[in-house]
A and B are shown apart, each in its own frame.
Chain A
Amino acid sequence: SQTIHQWPATLVQPVGSPLSLECTVEGTSNPNLYWYRQAAGRGLQLLFYSVGIGQISSEVPQNLSASRPQDRQFILSSKKLLLSDSGFYLCAWTLGLTSSTDTQYFGPGTRLTVL
């Protein structure tokens, strides 16, 4: 069976510090991978998605970046965090089937607080 891992679970960082969040998927090959952010009391905002190693599509221009160094590894980074970067960060994967039937599976999330 497939599982998705995210770490850390919680993180408190000062403004201006760097960020690295990691997501890994087990039990599948060549998944589509996604990063979302959810601000407190808000909906999910799609940040990045990737259909393969080294292939990153950005949805929202900001001070965040994403990388996919391995097939089942997805990393979210920032060089300098802003207060507005606080939120619940979720990684997700799909099999990359036709969009009509593809189901998205989410990780446990990382709660980031920028002070």
Chain B
Amino acid sequence: DAKTTQPNSMESNEEEPVHLPCNHSTISGTDYIHWYRQLPSQGPEYVIHGLTSNVNNRMASLAIAEDRKSSTLILHRATLRDAAVYYCILRDGSNTGNQFYFGTGTSLTVIP
């Protein structure tokens, strides 16, 4: 699986938008971009995924660069419950590869 690079940590004020960046310069044409988050002392949970177009769901939005070498997870209004580690991972859509490789992610701190 291609590698992703994320900042180790970020801070945001409560009720402000948060933009979490992810670089994936070696992404291939069939790789999907997935985001998960891990709340303290819990397992990760799925947030969102996309291929080329921007995606929205009830949790977040995913903005994908035109060249697909980077993407941004957008939380529209951060709450204290959004404090977590956010992981950006790539999944090869050309096969049924079974592995999920999580990096170290970005630790988001939400300031009241």
Contacts and interface: CB of A to CB of B under 8 A. Distances in A.
Interface of A: 32, 34, 36, 42-44, 46, 49, 51, 57, 59, 88, 90, 92, 94, 96-109, 111
Top 10 closest pairs, chain A to chain B, by CB: A106-B43, A100-B93, A43-B104, A44-B102, A100-B32, A99-B91, A103-B46, A90-B43, A99-B97, A49-B98
A9 to B, nearest CB: 10
A50 to B, nearest CB: 9
A57 to B, nearest CB: 7
Contacts of A101: 32, 49, 93
A104 B30 CA distance: 19
A49 B45 CA distance: 18
Nearest to B101: A46
Interface string B47-58: 001010000000
Contact of A96 (B51, B91, B96): B96
A87 to B, nearest CB: 13
Contact of B92 (A32, A99, A106): A99
B44 interface: yes
Contacts of A49: 98-99
29 contacts: A32-B98, A34-B100, A36-B102, A42-B104, A43-B87, A43-B104, A46-B99, A46-B100, A46-B101, A57-B98, A90-B44, A94-B98, A96-B98, A98-B93, A98-B95, A99-B91, A99-B93, A99-B98, A100-B32, A100-B51, A100-B91, A102-B91, A103-B49, A104-B100, A105-B46, A106-B44, A106-B45, A107-B43, A108-B43
